[in-house]
């Protein structure tokens, strides 16, 4: 943490952060099973009030990943099922601050999402797909930081049509 050379108005932070994890892929006939796990950590440096450097906040860390299975029913029809999980206490605490943001706050520090879907190969270069996401619960807070609603889900349906020339 230092000021940029020759510039008194810019702070430079050289914050170490760590990401580690692994992935796998398993194929058996028409089934493809794959996934990823990752752990991340950083010092969460924050600018201090006097604008003279940075102070260490509560270290932020997360862990999570996904597991997905693709099954080829026919050469033109594939079913998918995906499970995502991320655990981040820092995201949960930041969402509870009561400040106005463009996004709803998580209802907990663990976010799970389940996504079933299906893909159709209409032609050699045209694919249609449909996915539905069961998303994690979220909350809305009033201006004083109190929960304005009970947790609710903003599930999502996605349809797509892709083609390649």
Mean pLDDT score, 119-145: 86
Q: Go through the domains of the chain in sequence order and give each one's CATH number.
A: 15-163 (2.40.160.40)
Mean pLDDT score, 132-151: 76
How much is the pLDDT for 98? Answer: 47
CA–CA distances in Å: residue 119 to residues 36, 38, 64, 75, 84 = 22, 28, 26, 11, 19
Average pLDDT, the chain: 81
How much is the pLDDT for 8? Answer: 59
Residues 94-113 as b or e (16 or more Cβ within 10 Å = b): ebeeeeeeeebbbbeeebeb
How much is the pLDDT for 55? Answer: 77
Least confident of 13-22, 41-50, 65-74, 87-96: 87-96
pTM: 0.70
**Three-state SS letters, 94-157:** HHCCCCCCCCCEECCCEEEEEEEEEEEEEECCEEEEEEEEECCEEECECCCCCECCCCEECCEE
């Amino acid at each position: 943490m230092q000021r940029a050379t020759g510039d008194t108005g810019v702070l430079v932070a050289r914050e170490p952060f760590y990401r580690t994890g692994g992935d796998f892929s398993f194929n058996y006939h028409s089934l493809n099973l794959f996934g990823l796990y990752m752990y991340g950590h950083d010092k969460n440096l924050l600018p201090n009030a006097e604008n003279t450097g940075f102070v260490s906040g509560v270290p932020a860390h997360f862990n999570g990943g996904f597991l997905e299975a693709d099954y080829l029913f026919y050469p033109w029809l594939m079913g998918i099922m995906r499970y995502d999980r991320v655990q981040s206490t820092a995201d949960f605490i930041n969402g509870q601050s009561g400040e106005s943001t463009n996004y709803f706050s998580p209802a907990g520090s663990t976010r799970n999402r389940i996504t079933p879907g299906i893909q159709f190969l209409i032609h050699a270069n045209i694919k249609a797909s449909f996915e539905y996401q069961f998303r994690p619960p979220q909350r809305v807070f009033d201006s004083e930081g109190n929960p304005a609603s009970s947790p609710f889900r903003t599930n999502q349906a996605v349809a797509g049509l892709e083609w390649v020339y």
